[in-house]
Copies of this chain bind each other. A is one copy, B any other.
Amino acid sequence: MTAVFDTEKQPFPLVIRSLGIDTHQEPTVYLRRNSHVCRAEGFTTASRVQIDNEHSRIIATLHIVDNETLLAPGEIGLSNSAAKALNAPDGSIVHVCHPKPIRSLSHLRHKVYGHRLNDAQMKSIIQDIIAGLYADVHLATFITACAGDNLNQDEIICLTRAMLEAGENLDWQQSLVVDKHCVGGLPGNRTTPIVVSIVTACGGIMPKTSSRAITSPAGTADTMSTMTDVELDLDVLKQVVNQEGGCLAWGGSVHLSPADDILIRAERELDLDSEGQMVASVLSKKIAAGSSHVLIDIPVGPTAKVRSDEAANLLSRLLINTGAALGLKVEVICTDGTQPVGHGIGPALEAVDIIKVLKNDIDAPQDLKERALLLAGKILEMAGLAPAGEGWGKACKTLENGTAWQKFHRICNMQGGFKQPPTAHYQYSWSSETSGKVTEIDNRHLAKLAKLAGAPEDLAAGVTLDVKLGHTVLQGDTLLMIHAESPGALNYAIEFLQDHKDMIRIQA
């Protein structure tokens, strides 16, 4: 081969300048349109570019700048996420070039066109996602291609393994480590903190890491964050578990499944659920957290995430089979998903319910308590801490004699101290326009109402529900209250409520 042009690389050194622009998880860099590097490399805006210094390399999205006051000649601007990923001081030197084609994108296309992904392909996609090579639009494509039931059993196992291998894996040097998970879709069903307190109070090992909400108004990590610190680093988490037998931490901060953390943020933005991704997300984190046994709660109801027994059975099989393929014993329990659980919907409002149950308060929501006892009893039996059939009784005793509350308090203290959940600044109460019996409650609309009110970002925001199915109400009785941290969010929720008054049906 004879080169007409010298193929030696000619990089242009550029000086870093953090612009203080927050572009969320997509690292973005800024270059002047008339810069040498843009002209020489033929960069156009929204190009993906590679940025190198001696220590690190990132791929970022380019926004070309026409305004010459923003950047000096020879400078490259960095968004907050680009600056964080590159981890180099302002004024230091980087080089920019075209990134190599991302090989795993061809696997992704393969999937989009209806083919199946194997172990190696899934692994390379997950690795590239963690390496930050995927732009937001690529993440959206991956999530869409995996949404609904687009992944089969084999692909789910591949995805779970890929996520597992890509993160930290904990080892508790114990043969029996238990965990629980709820597939969600049932507002207020926040049993985890109660279950962990009971099980660990009985001597079980339950290093619980939870996620933040994906498309719901609260995740367990959001709720726990209103009562204590959930962003624990690995050393602290280990200390808490070694001393108390359990913890109630956010999974993201210990990097058990960094790919999942990225995907969950993107799923939330798109408001898309994926059965396969959910299975992989849940199980990869359980295995990475060192669990040997996990109990999974699937609430079933017409407006829950899982709407029918058939769907619940299908999901159970996926969970059990995927767990089995990776050495995790999974048990599934299907529960009533016809209406929300407890009183509050939203991080802090659910925390209030949890505290009441743990403290055996007279107005503690009984449905939340009963569900927590059912799950805790099952787990005590799975862990061999109670003989078959006696788990519930032991759980009940542990809760009612105050041992669970003491345990919860100790865990919170180890995690940085217990604090009272915050309350919201704005409220709006909705009263019944008629008298009659409550015949239907729409979980999805209530969840949406709580989200419009600001949950989960505004921790104190959400909805408190004053009625249950079968209750008799009189005209003027309060059905629910909206709690919000800003007038805008409150107005927005009220507007939605007025358009969807049938989210609580009253029949005369």
Q: Which residue numbers of A lie inside 8 Å of B, CB to CB? A: 1-7, 9-10, 18-24, 30, 33, 39-42, 44-46, 63-67, 70, 79-80, 97-98, 105, 109, 112-114, 136-141, 143-145, 147-150, 266, 269-272, 426-431, 454, 457-458, 485-492, 494, 498
Contacts and interface: CB of A to CB of B under 8 A. Distances in A.
A112 B150 CA distance: 9
Contacts of A33: 22
One complex includes copies of this chain to the number of 2
A20 B270 contact: no
A475 to B, nearest CB: 13
Contacts of A114: 148-150
10 contacts: A3-B494, A6-B487, A19-B67, A20-B66, A22-B45, A40-B487, A42-B486, A98-B492, A137-B137, A140-B141
Contact of A10 (B66, B272, B487): B487
The DSSP consensus for interface residues of chain A is mixed
A113 B145 CA distance: 10
Nearest to A490: B5
Nearest to A4: B427
B272 A42 contact: no
A127 to B, nearest CB: 20
B21 A112 contact: no
A21 B67 contact: yes
Contacts of A112: 144, 147-148, 272
A76 to B, nearest CB: 14
Given A427-B5, A431-B1, A487-B40, A269 B70 contact: no
B113 A148 contact: yes
A44 B456 CA distance: 12
A491 B7 contact: yes
